[in-house]
Amino acid sequence: MLYQLSVLVLVVPLIGGILAGFLGKTTGKTFTNTVTIFSVLASFLISSYILYTILNQPDLIFNQNIYRWLEIGSYSFNIGLLIDNLTASMMVVVTFISLMVHIYSIGYMHDDPGYHRFFSYISLFTFAMLSLVMANNFLQLFFGWEAVGVMSYLLIGFWFTKESAIKANFKAFIINRVGDMFLLLGIALLFSLSGSLDYSTVFSSGPMINNQLFFITENLSVSALTLACILLFGGAMGKSAQMPLHVWLPDSMEGPTPISALIHAATMVTAGVFMLARMSPLFELSESALSFVLIIGSITAITTGLLGLVQFDIKRVIAYSTLSQLGYMVVAAGVSAYSASLFHLMTHAFFKALLFLAAGSVIVALHHEQDIRNMGGLRKRLPVTYTTSLIGTLALIGFPGFSGFFSKDALIEAVAHSTVYAHEFAYYCVLIGVFVTSLYSFRLLFIVFHGPLSEHNNNVQEPQLSIVLPLILLSIPSVFVAWPTVGPMVFDSFFSNSIVQPTSIELFGYEFTDSLHFLTHALSGPVTYIAISGIGVAYLFYIKQPEIPNKLALTFKPIYKLLREKYYFDYLYENILAKFFSSLGNSLWNLGDIKFIDNYIVNGTARKIESLSNKAQLLQSGYIYHYALMMMLGLSVFLGWVIINKIGMAS
């Protein structure tokens, strides 16, 4: 039964996307949105039933190959499904966020000429993400990983007549290929050492792989498992936009706003975090790999959060918030708190999708204006959008009682109690990040919704129901979802059949009793008060004395310019690395391909043969007496050689 239901969850969005793509344009918009929404709704309902079944049977794990895809010698490569607590939870989150985005897109994309193509793409994207999280082997994981990348490329560049969108999707595609190269190398290394791509087989081979050394040089070696884990994390760095492979995500805001919510809230960018949790049996055997993960996550969490303070595009502010929160999730994985990392992934999915869709509501109401400097005073004009934005913002900063509070505080507790190398550095990064998150989040909220109403915004009104309804539905889990789930998911054994991590006492130094007690316990720490201080500073800077930020920008001009230029990563990649490799490629093409291969080997061989042919052609004059002369000369030479040999033998 579970087998058939799992296959349905995976296949139904695929069918919906194909039908919308091939039949939508001829049958109309109603058919397009109906077939895709109902396919994703069916997938969500079945996923919820599977999760409910697993909750009632804690030991239930479904791991089965569907069919054999390829067989080479003694190696077989299968397509299969792994349904456990981690998979079922991800299935529910992915399909719910996708469902909200589908409903929202009815209004947001209504007048777009690519309406049918858009709905087809987002349904196919949902299928790709589900195939990734439901895989039971590395080969299928990689196919799902690449399918998600291809669909994100199509969605980011959906408006293909817009030059900035084309540049953004190309940038996302190239950066993700860099990460995917590392992922593929990591998979290849594990396969070469374990002889299998099946999760369970590779995980059971972990201790054996850990005992093998990989020699980088004659005198320098590293554990093969550590190297494999770092390579796998390289793939996560690309997909989950960790520094220095983070530059594609802010630019991907060039796509339609529903895509920002779908790709950058709950699905594509969290694939790397999901993979870290899935690979926990391997990462737990290598403290060096965990330390590397921890350091990268810490740097991403603090540095990308600072960039959100100087952005004026409403979607880019939220995009840098996503980068920072992904850093938090990676930090939690780096201290072995995979349950806290996954829990923050899930709560973040709801409130970050809410914030992106609320930003889209503002953009629609203001006729696609995205510069927050042209906004202000929208609180009374857009009451539902404002209320839902406030809920999403409070959840994002971890305000007590909201879902983000429980996940973020548990995560920071785990960092504080960690013994992994560099955990002190990570702890200060995430604490500073709490203040920065609160500051840029309320900066956005105050500038957009408070202050004086601009004259050209007098006629602004709330968008249609299809846009507003998903905001309301996403607000509910943004507030309440953590209350009943934080205990079993983070502190109890909910993920025990999916991940490997220390006990909750070892991780958090706290014995969980109930959510209310955890809330009061968290209030004894600094996190909540740091977040509240960020609200206070934002209120001072952007409500009471809005001239202060400009004065600070002038006073600290070099720092402000550094942040506005995004630490010059784009300049480095586009003007130095890209030009260097382009020049190197052209040089190799000119020297290797044109001059050596074409001119010397291919064309050179042809010229030599032609030259020899031309010389040999001189021997063919066509006159009989020439040929007779040559025959006589040849015969004379032959007879001379015979006579000389006879004389030599006689003597």
To the nearest whole number, what is the mean pLDDT of the chain?
89
Query: How much is the pLDDT for 266?
Result: 63
β-strand 75-83 against 62-72: which pairing, if any?
antiparallel
Query: How much is the pLDDT for 270?
Result: 86
**Mean pLDDT, rounded, for 231-246:** 91
Whole-angstrom CA distances from 411 to 298, 299, 333 are 12, 16, 9
Query: How much is the pLDDT for 374?
Result: 86
Q: Is the pLDDT of residue 418 over 70?
A: yes
pLDDT in tens, 335-382: 999 999 999 999 999 999 999 999 999 998 888 888 888 888 888 889
Which DSSP letter does residue 399 get?
Answer: -
Query: How much is the pLDDT for 590?
Result: 85
Query: How much is the pLDDT for 589?
Result: 83
pLDDT band at 100 (very low <50, low <70, confident <90, very high): very high
Query: How much is the pLDDT for 646?
Result: 79
Q: Is the pLDDT of residue 622 over 80?
A: no
Q: Which tokens is 129 given? A: 């993400």
pLDDT in tens, 547-603: 998 999 999 999 999 999 999 998 898 888 888 888 888 888 888 788 788 777 777
Q: Which residue has the tokens 């015969």?
A: 635
Query: How much is the pLDDT for 436?
Result: 95
Q: Is the pLDDT of residue 619 over 80?
A: no
**Mean pLDDT, rounded, for 152-180:** 89
pLDDT band at 651 (very low <50, low <70, confident <90, very high): low
- Decide: helix, strand or coil at residue 196: coil
Domain boundaries in the chain?
296-564, 567-620, 622-651
Which residues are 78's β-sheet partners?
Answer: 68
**Mean pLDDT, rounded, for 390-415:** 92
What gap in Å lies between CA 587 and CA 594, rounded to an integer? 10
H or E element in which residue 7 lies: helix 2-27
**Mean pLDDT, rounded, for 201-211:** 90
Query: How much is the pLDDT for 211?
Result: 87
Region of 242 please: left (phi>0), alpha (psi -120 to 50) or beta: beta
Highest mean pLDDT among 107-116, 372-381, 525-534: 525-534
**Mean pLDDT, rounded, for 448-467:** 82
- Decide: helix, strand or coil at residue 213: strand
pLDDT in tens, 10-56: 999 999 999 998 888 888 889 998 999 999 999 999 999 999 998 88
Query: How much is the pLDDT for 346?
Result: 93
- DSSP secondary structure letters along 451-465: SPPPGGGTT-----H
pLDDT band at 521 (very low <50, low <70, confident <90, very high): confident
Which residues are 77's β-sheet partners?
Answer: 70
- CA dihedral 88→90→94→100, nearest 10 degrees, is 80
pTM of the model: 0.89
What gap in Å lies between CA 253 and CA 108, rounded to an integer? 15
Q: Is the pLDDT of residue 433 over 90?
A: yes
Query: How much is the pLDDT for 426?
Result: 93
**Mean pLDDT, rounded, for 416-435:** 92
pLDDT band at 632 (very low <50, low <70, confident <90, very high): confident
Phi first, then psi, for residue 644 (nearest 5°) are -60, -40
Query: How much is the pLDDT for 112?
Result: 85
**Mean pLDDT, rounded, for 279-292:** 92
Query: How much is the pLDDT for 282?
Result: 93
Query: How much is the pLDDT for 642?
Result: 84
Query: How much is the pLDDT for 435?
Result: 95
